Structure 1
Amino acid sequence: MCDRFAPVPGLARRAVATGGRRTGWPRRPALVMPRPGHPAEVLVTAAGRTIRAAMGRSAVATFKREGDGATPRCRMVPRAALVRGRPAVPARPPLPLPWRPVRAADGWCDAPGHGLYNRYVKRPASMSHEALARGDALYDVVVITDHNQSPRVQRGGSAIFLHIARPAMTPTEGCLAFPAAAWHRAMVPLGPYLIGVPQRPAAGARGRPPRVRHR
């Protein structure tokens, strides 16, 4: 887990809680595990509910590498959000994170070996990078996480975000992507995530299979 985060310029310092809790999402991590029978999806369980999400095309990998298409097996924490208002997502969403509207100049460096690797960059930029203001709806909400932030490992993976999934829930390049309806209903967990690591049940607890909400 990272202790520091490279900020995105211009973020609002004050955040508003969501998820039906005045204090925001609990600190207990959301558990992310593969969805049986659906190789491109995971089940995300937090705050007593389970929703589905798309994961990387190469599933979950213990040793994440740049460009491998895998979702990293790790603990990661959302740090900030960029938002573009559209019908499916409010222009001023209630988020328990620092956030601001996305700008045409917003980018994220994915060039291994560069000093700004896995960092925010201002476009236009000469190094390889990803534009955060997309023509489609996938980044109408994009949540930046602390994955591979401090320390940064070159080729250890960049731009592992939370964002909106394609309607068919097709795989991502490593991010977790949630249906637009889950974002609109404030169902996407915005606390810590524990990806691909099963949690041991408490002593004496009676486990029940999670109820999946098909949104």
Structure 2
Amino acid sequence: MKRRIRLLRVQASPLCRTKGRLTVAGITFPCVLGRSGLVTAKREGDGGTPRGALPLRGLLQRRDRGPRIPSALPFHAIQPEDAWCDDVADRRYNKPIKRPLDQTSEERLTRADRLYDVIVPLGWNDGPIVKGRGSAIFWHLSRENGSPTAGCVAVTPDVFRKVLPRLSRHAVMVIG
């Protein structure tokens, strides 16, 4: 078996702060960044994609939207009540949570669009968690029009299908 890949690099385009490139084992793919581009001092709601070495924490996928993508990352099938807490006043800030289906949440993981059909949570502000420093930095699917994210890194579905099976369980995304 081939050696699994441990390093992914994300760099912003010099021409557009919301566009970038993801490089994995010498192969480069286009990616989309947050509306504020790359930031050093990340804050909740600023639209920036944080610079740093962020471990890949697992693979979350909607099983009703396609077959499971093989990966060495820990897997969780996204359920309708799954969400991510981005409320700085909540003790569960920057953690996965369960929400009643009749309760709204900006970070509900089951969305009508396909952005969160495949999600890799990145290890941002999770050891220790600092309220207000930013939550839910994901590597997820991009919009068809390539518009910016709220601070995440986004790619097309084919990139996930090509890259995820080759990654180590301990892979790290270096953004900068």
TM range (shorter): 0.7 to 0.9
- Distance, in Å, in 2 between the alignment partners of 1:105 and 1:23 is 36
Unaligned runs of 5+ in 2: none
User: Which residue matches 2:57?
Assistant: 79
Matching residue's letter, 1:132: L
Matched, 1:51 2:34: no
1:128, CA displacement in angstroms? 5.5
Is contact 2:118-2:140 (8 Å) kept? Answer: yes
Matched, 1:123 2:99: yes
Aligned partner (choices 93, 112, 117) of residue 88 of structure 2: 112
Coordinate RMSD, CA, aligned = 2.2
User: Which residue matches 1:67?
Assistant: 45
- Distance, in Å, in 2 between the alignment partners of 1:86 and 1:184 is 17
Q: Which has the higher strand share?
A: 2
TM-score computed with the length of structure 2 as normaliser: 0.88
Is contact 1:79-1:98 (8 Å) kept? Answer: yes
Quickly say closer, same or farther: Cα 1:59–1:35, change in 2 above 3 A.
same
Count of residue correspondences: 172
32-41 vs 111-120, which moves further: 32-41
1:1-215 equivalence runs, <5 A: 22-26=2-6, 29-85=7-63, 90-124=66-100, 130-186=107-163, 190=167, 191-196=171-176
Please give the per-residue CA displacement for 1:47-80, whole angstroms capped at 9, x wherever unaligned: 1111111000000110000000000011101111
- Distance, in Å, in 2 between the alignment partners of 1:46 and 1:181 is 14
Matching residue's letter, 1:52: P
Alignment identity in percent? Answer: 37
| Helix, strand or coil at the partner of 2:159 | helix
1:22, CA displacement in angstroms? 4.3
